[in-house]
Amino acid sequence: MVSVRVLFLVLSVMGAVQAADPSEGEFIAEGGGVRGPRLVGKQQSACKESDWPFCSDEDWNYKCPSGCRMKGLIEEVNQDFTNRINKLKDSLFDYQKNNKDSNTLTRNIIDILRGDFTNSKNNENTFSQVSEDLRSRIEILKRKVIEQVQHIHLLQKNVRDQLIDMKRLELDCYDALQTHPSGAQSGIFNIKLPGSSKIFSVYCDQETGLGGWLLIQQRMDGSLNFNRTWQDYKKGFGSLNDKGEGEFWLGNEYLHLLTLRGSILRVELEDWAGKGAYAEYHWRVGSEAEGYALQVSSYEGTAGDALIEGSVEEGTEYTSHAGMRFSTFDRDADKWEDNCAEVYGGGWWYNNCQAANLNGIYYPGGSYDPRDNSPYEIENGVVWVPFRGADYSLRTVRMKIRPFGTQ
């Protein structure tokens, strides 16, 4: 582009030189072809005719120009050239100016572009800052998630440990004796019965015989009423302190669960004179559907076999408790036309009616007169007929069990 412009300029200059031909153009229009001095614009020559001799050449005749005329013509041409040069100068100046302007424009454009570039750079910075922010936030969240997951794992482990602990709960007092750190000492232990989610506290006698005895019933002061409903006997009632003192019935449902795989029953008796006796059996308590029926065999002991043999005097057939269903005053399952539980005053495996009843009426002092009872003269004390007879109510009675096959 620049080279083209330069070429144009050169051509213009050449044109200007051509225009200086004396036979044509401005030169003739301004009287260049006329002989003699003449006024030429403001550029009036200061020369005088005397300074210049007339043309002596005859051939030129009147056409011969004077020196002054020559000088004027030269000055005129000079002036013309000066004008043209000035025009060119202006032209060049304009061109340079324009060029400068375009340079400025270019610079401006570059500046603007640079500005945009900087802006885009700023944007890039902003973007990278934002994404950096997001990245760090995501990192923080990730860390938190990991912490939470670890926390959950810890909780899961705790729950597992607790489950193991729960599984470690003893099934009975024999289990406690075998596995519990302080299982060798008699006392309260938490056990979980197989087939039941219930965890409950029981008293374990770890000293009698080989230990492992779970207390299921106790009378010792007559402080608790044992004349209760089917539901009470099913779920149990009464309580024990941590020394194993108190009156209670564990509950037929638990007796059923505890004796499912076979169990040994130990009955401990003590009269008001402090004389003791015991009886042991293999036994099982049926389900509720079976009326919590008593399966009992293999008597052994010093108290006499009241449960299987019953009262020889009154007849085993009427007094044996083996195979009898459990009765309460509100659920009569005995072999008597009347309600044994109602008149004997407690839930038991009545036949027609009994040779033993550890849930009978507690008579302090032991001896009582059945004739005081009405409508029937019923021997309804806490009795074990082979030990102290039907008209003697024992001071202390206990029933304990341990799993079969552990002796």
Ligand X SMILES: *[C@@H]1O[C@H](CO)[C@@H](O)[C@H](O)[C@H]1NC(C)=O
The least CB distance from residue 381 to ligand X, in Å, is 11
What are residue 301's phi and psi, to 5 degrees? 155, -165
Q: What is the DSSP string of 340-404?
A: HHHHHTS-B--SSS-SEETTSB--TTSB--GGGSSSS----BSEEHHHHBTTB--SEEEEEEEET
Q: Which residue has the tokens 């020369």?
A: 47
User: Nearest 5 degrees, angle CA 35-CA 38-CA 40?
Assistant: 125
45 vs 252, which CB is nearer to ligand X?
252
242 or 372: whose CB is closer to ligand X?
Answer: 372
Rule CB under 6 A: choose which of 183, 286, 301, 345 binds ligand X: 345
On the question of a cis peptide bond just before residue 340, with omega within 30 degrees of 0, the verdict is: no
Q: With contacts defined by CB under 6 A, name the span among 25-33, 233-241, 266-274, 338-346 that binds ligand X.
A: 338-346
What is the number of other CB atoms lying within 10 angstroms of the CB of residue 333?
A: 18
User: Could you give the CA distance from residue 196 to residue 171 in angstroms, rounded to a whole number?
Assistant: 11
Q: By rule CB under 6 A, what count of residues binds ligand X?
A: 7
Instruction: Single out the residue of 174, 329, 349, 362 in contact with ligand X (rule: CB under 6 A).
Output: 329
Kindly tell me which of 306 and 361 has the beta carbon lying closer to ligand X: 361
What's the min distance (Å) between Cβ of 329 and ligand X? 4
Distance of closest approach, residue 185 Cβ to ligand X, in angstroms: 38
DSSP of 119-167, one letter per residue? HHHHHHHHHHHHHHHHHHHHHHHHHHHHHHHHHHHHHHHHHHHHHHHHH
Of the candidate spans 40-48, 190-198, 258-266, 340-348, the one that interacts with ligand X by CB under 6 A turns out to be 340-348
From the list 75, 80, 309, 342, which residue makes contact with ligand X (rule: CB under 6 A)? 342
User: What whole-number distance in Å separates Cα of residue 19 and Cα of residue 29?
Assistant: 12
Residue nearest to ligand X (CB): 345
Smallest gap from Cβ 153 to ligand X, in A, equals 57
Using CB under 6 A as the binding rule, whether residue 368 contacts ligand X is answered as no
CB of 247 to ligand X, least distance (A): 16
Nearest to 54 by CA among 62, 45, 42: 62
Which member of 12, 91, 178, 227 binds ligand X (CB under 6 A)? Answer: 227
- Which spans of this chain sit near ligand X (rule: CB under 6 A)? 227, 329, 342-343, 345, 361, 380
